[in-house]
Amino acid sequence: MKPNRLILLASLVALAGLGRAATNDYFAQGIRFSSAGQFPEAAAAFGQAAQARPAAGTLVNLGIAEWQRGRAGAAILAWEQARWINPFEARAQANLKFARPVAQVDEPPLKWFETASTWLPGDAWVWLAGASLWLAVGALVLPGVFRRRRAGWESSLASLGFGIFLVAMTANVGVVTRADLGVVLKKNAPLLLTPTRESEIVSTLAAGESARKLRVRGNYYFIRTALASGWIARDQFGLVDAR
């Protein structure tokens, strides 16, 4: 490798290291603020850490800080995001179980394939789908290419690959549809009949209530909650995938 390339690679590694160090600084800062009871500052620090590098632990702590400063919606969103990154994050799961009854909101109703998609992290499903597909295709195609008779284990491997692929694809659809789930951030957020400022209010939503984004128009999302649908201002609704 040429020296210039080596320098470039080293710089990139160093930059990545710096970025991670900064994230860790924010995380440590957030811990300090939380310990001191300065929850708005802690939330800001964890928020910056999560923005720079979304991590399950950071989001759990962000949720705790938001909860302690009185923002149920932001807290539930942060814990949902933590669970989005790592479905096995125990703190996030426990906090969601604690917070939803307190905030008097329900869990989002998931379809069967969405429930399946929560068994693994969203990214794992897509890798699994890719790997299983190409493994199956390889097991089918490569023996022919290399002028070998296809062995029984190769056929079995192909079948298994396709089977896993089908399951993973279903879960992938669940991941994609789950990406449209979100949480109402503000207390008594108005659900509007039309995507306009002066619109008639269909209903008011509690902070932390889950809903599914169906459409976007201007500065509004058209969402469906368990019992009603309507438009909500973008700044009052946070999507789990933070788009």
Partner 1 sequence: MKFPTIIKQFVLPLALALGGRALAADETNAVAPATGRDFYNAGTKLLAGKKYADAEKMFQSALAAQDEKVQPSALYNLGHARFDEGAGLLKKGPDAQKLNAQGNAALAAGEHAIHESEAALQDARIDKLVSAYLEGRGARHDLRDAEKAVQSAMETYGKTLLEWQRAAEDFKGVAELHPADTNAVWNAKIVDRSIANLVDSVRRMQEMSGRMGRQRQDLGKLLSKLKGQIPAPDAPPGAAGDEDEDDVQPGSLAGQKENASHEGDQMQIPISPEAAGQILNGLSLDGSRRLPMSDKQGAPAKEKTGRNW
Partner 2 sequence: MVLLWLLLEPAGLRAQVSFQIAPGMAGQFQVPQPPVEVIQAATAAVSFDPPVVRAGETAFYRVTIAAAESAIQWPDPIDAPPELKLGAAAHGQSAQVFGTQYRPATTFLQEIRATAAGHYTISNFTVSVNRQQLLIPAASLDVTDTNAAPLPAARRLHLELSATNIFVGQPVRVRVLLPAAEGKTVDGVRDVQFNGAGFMTDKTAMRMSITSVEVNDQIRPGFIFESAVTPMAAGPLSLSAQGFTAPPFSVGPISITSAGGPITLGGAGQVTPVFLVSDAVALNVRPVPLEKSPAGFTGTIGKFYYDPPRLSTNRMRVGEPVSLKVVFHGDGELTRLVPPATPRARDWQIIADPPPAIGFTLIPQSDETTHTPAIPFSYFDPETAKFVDLTIPPQRVTVVGESLPLQLAAADDELKTAAPLKLSSLAPAPGKAVTSLKPLQLRGWFIGLQLLPVLGFLALWRWDRRRRFLEAHPDLVRRLQARRALRRVKRRWQQAVVARDAASFVRHAADAMRIAVSPHLPADPQALVCADVLAQLDEAGSDRNRRLAQTVRMIFAVTDARFAVTPQAQADLLVLRAEVADVLQQLEEKL
| Chain residues that interact with partner 2, rule: CB under 8 A | 23-24, 27, 31, 34, 39-41, 49, 53-58, 60-61, 64, 67-72, 75, 81, 84-86, 89-91, 94-95, 97-103, 121-123, 126-127, 130, 134, 137, 141-142, 145, 172, 175-176, 179, 186, 240-243
- Residue with smaller CB distance to partner 2, 164 or 229: 164
Pick from partner 2, partner 1, none: which does 23 bind, CB < 5 to 8 A by kind?
partner 2
Burial (CB < 10 A; 0-12, 13-18, 19+), residue 58, is buried
Kind plus residue range of the DSSP H or E element containing 106: none
Instruction: Single out the residue of 7, 32, 111, 200 in contact with partner 1 (rule: CB under 8 A).
Output: 200
> 167-170 contacts: CB < 8 A, separation 24 or more?
167/116, 168/125, 168/126, 168/128, 168/129, 168/132, 169/129, 170/113, 170/116
CB of 101 to partner 2, least distance (A): 5
- Give the C-alpha separation, 16 to 18, whole Å: 5
Query: What is the Cα–Cα distance from 82 to 170, expressed in whole angstroms?
Result: 22
Element housing 46 (H / E): helix 39-52
| CA dist., res. 110 & res. 129, Å (int) | 21
CB 203, min distance to partner 1, A: 5
* CA–CA distance, 71 with 195 (Å, rounded to integer): 25
Strand order in the sheet with 181-184: 201-205, 189-192, 229-233, 220-224, 210-217, 181-184, 237-239
Q: Give the footprint of partner 1 on residues 62-121 (CB under 8 A).
A: none
Q: Which does 209 bind (CB under 5 to 8 A by kind): partner 2, partner 1, none?
A: none
Query: In the structure encoding, which two tokens stand for residue 155, read together?
Result: 């056929």
Task: Give which of partner 2, partner 1, none residue 202 binds (C-beta under 5 to 8 Å, depending on kind).
Answer: partner 1
Which region, judged by CB under 8 A, interacts with partner 1, from 52-60, 129-137, 171-179, 227-235?
227-235
Residue 233 touching partner 1 (CB under 8 A): no
The partner residues of 183 in beta bridges, in order of sequence, read: 210, 238
Query: Applying CB under 8 A, which of residues 222, 223, 237, 239 lies at the interface with partner 1?
Result: 222
Between 154 and 173, how does the x/- string for binding to partner 1 read (CB under 8 A)?
Answer: --------------------
User: What are the residues binding partner 1 (CB under 8 A)?
Assistant: 193-200, 202-203, 215, 217, 222, 227-229
